[in-house]
Structure 1
Amino acid sequence: MKCLVTGISGFVGGYLTEFLIKKGYEVYGIDQSGNLVKGAEVLQADILDKEKVFKIIKDVRPNQIIHLAAQSSVRRSWDNPELTQKVNVDGTRFLLDAVREAEINSRILIVTSAEIYGVPNGILITENHSLKPVNPYGESRLKQEKLIEEYKEEYNMDIVISRSFPHMGPKQLNKFVCSSFAYQIAMIESGKQEPVLKVGNLEAVRDFTDVRDIVKAYYLLINSDSNGVYNICSGNGISISEVLKALLCFSNRKINVKQDPNKMRPSDIPVMVGNNSKFVNLTDWIPIIPIEETLKNLLDYWRKKAF
């Protein structure tokens, strides 16, 4: 079984590749950086390079495609909404056009985001929730999903969508909140940063899942028979302040916490917690790694980098 992973050199791509190889897959990757990923054949290409993407699809002829390549930062989407839309919408269009023009019937999983929902009108967000994104990143994901539905209807393409809620784990970039906290603690412990940890909004509540549980979910979803839309999430909410408290408990250093206006989002959703019952009913998937273990693993990763 050949699987092509776009954005393979990113945070999720490495974990996904490792998981797929253990399942006996032949893994290929598209990535702008061209960085090596153990066990995979990585082909350097920008997802916006339509001709290069088509050539890769035509040459590899994958049975399955998992589309991770994206501009995935909410903060960056405010700084550059045009690029966010271009990567997330046009990049998806070029990929789907390449599959169609290469005349192959690949099974495709496209990963979008819970940011598509906007401010929730209930406690747990289901897939039937209204789609009213409140930031350029979420808007790009909504346009992406509309494009996908058009291609499914017009060309009968075999596509399933994951609306992924936040995930974390070792190797995550420190521009994301949990990794930022862990990185700063590690730098403070190593003496490379003053004992002041800068934070943004600590009141927000989010639904976090370990990346190692996430990649198992993606494997189960692409190997299902469904062409639907599924929330991939833990179904449990935790405030950012609780995340910070848990990480600080792993350190013996006295650390002061200071709010940094630069880390505040122009528009932040107070609570975002998903309902995963539709996906669980489809696959029997259950996230098994406790958040405390994930946070400890994340902090230990940055400690190794810092010392």
Structure 2
Amino acid sequence: MKVLITGVNGFVGGYLFSRLKTLDHKIYGLGMEPSSPYNLDEYYSVDITKKFQLNQEFDAIIHLAALNRTTIGADIDSHIFHQINVEGTRNLIESCGFSKFIYISTAAVYARDDEVITEESPIAPMGNYAKTKYEAELLCQKLIPHKKLIILRPVNISGAGQRNIAAVPLFFERALNHEALELSVAPSKTIQLLDVDDFAKAIIQCLECSGSGIYNLAPEDSMTMLQLVTKILTLCGSKSSLILKVDKEEAPSVICAGKAGLKINFQASKSMNQILENYYESRKRGTKG
């Protein structure tokens, strides 16, 4: 199978490349960097915000490339989010032929008014990242035949090698340095983590299945933000102070991946405690990925 991974040089892209390569697929990569550290069958150095042509036909495209800033760096101009996440997706779709297109969106597109969130729950994205990811979903549905399109809405992906632009590695960095941790959301806010290996397995399931559709990707368990930060502080034996910036209660709300379990045989293998413990061990070993 000829598979194109956009954003191949990123945290998730690297994991996905290594898993797919063991299955003897021909792996093509696309990124903004001049070259890739991975042994790809071909690499395209492309700025997706500008129109381009790949002159290739792929069995599958896995579209990971995106500007992903939620709270850290969230003050980036909305125009830049739109150019990368929406127009970049349009340019990719128009650049080549493909039999299957797997678009990686986010569970942040949902309103969080219900205790259990399914694919049928109301949509109400907040912030530039979630808004443009949902706009790109709609664009994919407009430009790509339904039978060719899979949209995945994962919760927070986490694992060894993740940079400090994501909440979990940033919390660990500050805890290990005994620096103050600021919690800028309600302590009772629900958070779910998906191990990067479990995410890669879900992608492989999508490549092997013949169906299409929209699927949430999430573990069965969850934590409150206060429980998450407390767990990290305990693991690190940290003397960091915890500063609570928001003083309010938030009702529990969890993303359900039951549909993905039925349709693409997805099941998260690692609990949130295991993800955090494994990440801590990787930091102690100095693991980069």
TM value normalised by structure 2: 0.88
Give, in whole Å, the separation in 1 of the partners of 2:274 and 2:34: 31
Q: Is the 8 A contact 1:237 1:272 kept in 2?
A: no
Q: Distance in 1 between matches of 2:88 and 2:105?
A: 13
Going from structure 1 to structure 2, the CA distance change for 1:253 and 1:122 (only over 3 Å counts) comes to: closer
* Structure 1 SS opposite 2:105: strand
2:93 alignment partner in structure 1 = 96
Unaligned runs of 5+ in 2: none
For the residues of structure 2 that align with 1:106 and 1:270, how far apart are their CA atoms?
A: 42
Could you say what secondary structure the match of 1:236 adopts?
Answer: coil
SS in 1 for 2:68: coil
Please report how far the alpha carbon of residue 81 of structure 1 lies from its aligned counterpart in structure 2 after TM superposition. 1.1
8 Å Cα contact 1:14-1:37 kept in structure 2: no
Q: Which amino acid aligns with 1:160?
A: I
Q: Summarize deviations over 1:52-88 as a string: whole Å, max 9, x none.
A: xx13xx14x3221100000121234443211111111
For residues 99 and 133 of structure 2, the distance between their equivalents in structure 1, rounded to whole angstroms, comes to 22
Amino acid at match of 1:106: S
The alpha-carbon deviation at position 93 of structure 1 amounts to 0.4
2:256 paired residue number? 275
The question of whether the paired residues in 2 share the 8 Å contact of 1:7 and 1:13 is answered with: yes
Question: Any conservation in 1 of the 2:113–2:253 contact (CA below 8 Å)?
Answer: no
Q: Which residue pairs with 1:14 in the alignment? A: 14
- From 103, 118, 142, the counterpart of 1:110: 103
Distance 1:196 1:251 in 2: 13
2:61–2:98 Cα contact (<8 Å) kept: no
Partner letter of residue 226 of structure 1? G
Instruction: Provide the rounded CA distance (Å) in 1 between the counterparts of 2:170 and 2:251.
Output: 19
1:207–1:272: 8 Å Cα contact kept in structure 2?
no
Aligned to 1:298: 279
The aligned length equals 281
Instruction: Say which of 117, 122, 125 aligns to 2:117.
Output: 125
C-alpha displacement of 1:270: 6.5
2:142 corresponds to which residue?
150
Opposite residue 205 of structure 2, the aligned amino acid is L
Secondary structure (helix, strand or coil) at the match of 1:234 reads coil
Task: Give the structure 2 partner of residue 191 of structure 1.
Answer: none
Deviations 1:145-186 (A, max 9, x none): 111111135xx6711111121111111121211111112233
Confirm whether residue 63 of structure 1 aligns to residue 47 of structure 2.
no
Matched, 1:220 2:214: no
CA distance in 2, matches of 1:95, 1:238: 36
CA distance in 1, matches of 2:75, 2:115: 27
Unaligned runs of 5+ in 1: 189-193
- Which of the two has greater helix per residue? 1
What percentage of aligned pairs have identical amino acids?
Answer: 22
CA distance in 2 between counterparts of 1:197 and 1:7 reads: 30
Secondary structure of the equivalent of 2:121? Answer: coil
User: CA contact under 8 A between 1:108 and 1:222: conserved in structure 2?
Assistant: no
- Please say if 1:79 is aligned against 2:71: no
Q: Distance in 1 between matches of 2:20 and 2:251?
A: 35
Shift of 1:246: 1.5
1:22 CA drift (Å): 1.4
Structure 1 pair 67/246, CA: closer, same or farther in 2 (3 Å)? same
Is 1:169 aligned to residue 159 of structure 2? Answer: yes
Q: Give the aligned partner of residue 184 of structure 2.
A: 200
- The letter for the 1-side match of 2:109 is I
Distance 1:143 1:272 in 2: 23
Corresponding residue for residue 185 of structure 1: 175
Aligned-partner SS, 1:98: coil
| Per-residue deviation, residues 113-171 of structure 1 (Å, max 9, x unmatched) | 11111x32311111111212122222112211111111135xx6711111121111111
1:294 counterpart SS class:
helix
Aligned-pair RMSD on alpha carbons? 2.3
